[in-house]
Amino acid sequence: MTDRPEGPEIWQRSARAARHNRRRHRAEWRFRVYGLSAVILALAVLGALLGSITVKGHSAFVLTHVELEVFYDPAILDPDGTGNSAIIGNANFAKLIKQSLVSVFPDVTKRNDKRALAKLVSQAARFELRGRVLEDPSLIGTHQTVSLAASGDLDMFVKGHIPRDVPESDRRLSDKQIGWIDALDASSAIETRFNIGFFTNGDSRDPEMAGIWGAVVGSFYTLLITLVLAFPIGVTTAIYLEEFAPKNRWTDLIEVNINNLAAVPSIIFGLLGLAIFLQLFHLPRSAPIVGGLTLMIMTLPTIIIATRAAIQAVPPSIREAAHGLGASPLQVVLHHVLPLAMPGILTGTIIGMARALGETAPLLMIGMVAFIVDVPGGPFDPSTVMPVQIFLWADRPERAFLEKTSAAILVLLVFLVLMNALAVYLRKRFEKRW
């Protein structure tokens, strides 16, 4: 018979167990505190980052306008009185704006002062007047009150980004220009409106006229090409490797290389696209077709890995039941495995596309960093994409481009959040439980 422990020994064991439980509970409590602190710290950093971007970029969604009475002088617009649209289109519309400003400030007589006064209105305002006259030639010879976009400096001053209480040499506006702005503001000739041009214009060297539409269209074409090519190739590759490929050294080598490609820096894919699509196949530089092909190569490993994981998650009983009913291996995959794995496949694809949307380095290598004013009309036209547009604006010296940069980042973040939310929705919507 085994000896049973005596009373003091039982008490000692109980005391040791109690101390061990207390230490374990304290360790668990510390772990929870550390985890909660890490989450709070991450949320605080994320909140500070988003708050900083929002504070810097929210003002880009409004634009300052100057209201002027413009006389469409026939001597400037149509000196021959022929109504020829070619002559009208080449007229000096900037002179009309200068005359309107001088009529508001008749004491401005010196050439340098007139030049400084004209800088209060955007240089692109003359194209707005030109479009109005070409659309309605009956405006010639009339006085019209029009609202023209202010210059970037005036816009920044009204928004408070250019302080007036600093030496004149330290700001982009002179004391005279600030006095003219105050006079225009006192006469209610200055107003701020929603900046619809930020969403409908292409890039411009004038910050008040620069918009993201060209970059949005370029991103659309680039991602469309990426999706059309990467999705079928990635899904079929994953199906073959998971369901049909023999398990040998070659398939093991392919699987290892796919996993390694998923961790390769994105700029390497840019070098690959530069060598193959531009130097070998001579495709047009800075075109969405090249960007889409480059991002397709970069996105393929992500889609293949996600698809294989989704296929592996399908219970073997589904395959066995289908085989038992006489289905061929291809029918089992197409009719049973693939539909059940589709939520995971779509989730992985959307996450891969979201990564492609935010990539900059590979596109810089293939020349999509050029200054493109026109909105691309197709995948072979020169264009840029949203991340590259942000990169270009961040490098501009004007203060007005800083708010454009932050505003474009906010728009890009909205797109990324929507794409990730769509991935979560599709997974929840089509997910099946066994």
How far apart are alpha carbons 277 and 286 in whole angstroms?
Answer: 11
Q: Establish if 87 belongs to a structural domain.
A: yes
For residue 136, the tally of other CB atoms under 10 A from its CB is 10
Give yes or no for a contact between 97 and 148, defined as CB atoms under 8 angstroms apart: yes
Listed residues 200, 231, 248: the one ending a domain: 200
Q: Per-residue DSSP letters for 103-165?
A: HH-TT--SHHHHHHHHTTB-TTHHHHHHHHHHH-GGGTT-EEEEEEEBPHHHHHHHTTSS-SS
Percentage of the chain exceeding pLDDT 90: 26
Is there a single domain that holds both residue 31 and residue 109? Answer: no
Q: What is the pLDDT of residue 38?
A: 94
Q: What is the pLDDT of residue 405?
A: 92
Is there a single domain that holds both residue 114 and residue 230? Answer: no
Q: Establish if 119 belongs to a structural domain.
A: yes
Domains: count for the chain: 3
How far apart are alpha carbons 162 and 159 in whole angstroms?
Answer: 8
Q: Which tokens is 127 given?
A: 């194209």
Summarize pLDDT for 174-189 with one digit per residue, the tens: 889 999 999 999 988 9
Is there a single domain that holds both residue 116 and residue 249? Answer: no
The rounded mean pLDDT for the chain is 87
pLDDT at 347 over 90: no
Q: What is the pLDDT of residue 431?
A: 67
Strand partners, 67: 147
What band does 5 get if pLDDT is binned at 50, 70 and 90? low
Summarize pLDDT for 151-164 with one digit per residue, the tens: 988 999 898 888 88
What would the mean pLDDT of 123-127 be, rounded to a whole number? 88
Q: What is the pLDDT of residue 62?
A: 92
Q: Which domain holds residue 408?
A: 213-430
What would the mean pLDDT of 232-238 be, rounded to a whole number? 93
Q: Establish if 1 belongs to a structural domain.
A: no
Is there a single domain that holds both residue 25 and residue 87? Answer: no
What band does 199 get if pLDDT is binned at 50, 70 and 90? very high
Is there a single domain that holds both residue 114 and residue 256? Answer: no
Is there a single domain that holds both residue 318 and residue 369? Answer: yes
Summarize pLDDT for 332-344 with one digit per residue, the tens: 888 888 888 888 8
How far apart are alpha carbons 203 and 17 in whole angstroms?
Answer: 71
Q: Exposed (0-12), middle (13-18) or buried (19+): which is 226, by Cβ within 10 Å?
A: buried
When comparing pLDDT for 286 and 17, which is higher? Answer: 286
Q: Establish if 206 belongs to a structural domain.
A: no
Q: What is the pLDDT of residue 286?
A: 85
pLDDT at 287 over 60: yes
Q: Establish if 146 belongs to a structural domain.
A: yes
Is there a single domain that holds both residue 179 and residue 269? Answer: no
Give the 3-state secondary structure of residue 385: coil
Q: Which tokens is 137 given?
A: 């030639």
Is there a single domain that holds both residue 324 and residue 423? Answer: yes
Listed residues 200, 233, 258: the one ending a domain: 200
pLDDT at 432 over 70: no
Q: Establish if 356 belongs to a structural domain.
A: yes
What band does 421 get if pLDDT is binned at 50, 70 and 90? confident
Give yes or no for a contact between 197 and 61, defined as CB atoms under 8 angstroms apart: no
For residue 179, the tally of other CB atoms under 10 A from its CB is 12
Q: Establish if 344 belongs to a structural domain.
A: yes
Question: What are the C-alpha distances in Å from 291 to residues 58, 168, 212, 283, 359?
Answer: 30, 46, 18, 11, 10
Is there a single domain that holds both residue 80 and residue 227? Answer: no
How far apart are alpha carbons 230 and 278 in whole angstroms?
Answer: 20
Q: Establish if 207 belongs to a structural domain.
A: no
Is there a single domain that holds both residue 163 and residue 245? Answer: no
What is the CATH number for 265?
Answer: 1.10.3720.10
pLDDT at 236 over 90: yes
Is there a single domain that holds both residue 49 and residue 66? Answer: no
Is there a single domain that holds both residue 383 and residue 247? Answer: yes
Summarize pLDDT for 33-81 with one digit per residue, the tens: 999 999 999 999 999 999 999 988 888 999 999 999 989 888 888 888 7
Q: What is the pLDDT of residue 6?
A: 56
Listed residues 58, 73, 94: the one ending a domain: 58
Please choose, from the candidates 289, 288, 299, the residue with its C-alpha nearest in 3D space to the C-alpha of residue 384. 288
- Dmax (CA) of the chain: 127
What would the mean pLDDT of 78-104 be, rounded to a whole number? 87
Q: Exposed (0-12), middle (13-18) or buried (19+): which is 394, by Cβ within 10 Å?
A: middle
Q: What is the pLDDT of residue 433?
A: 59
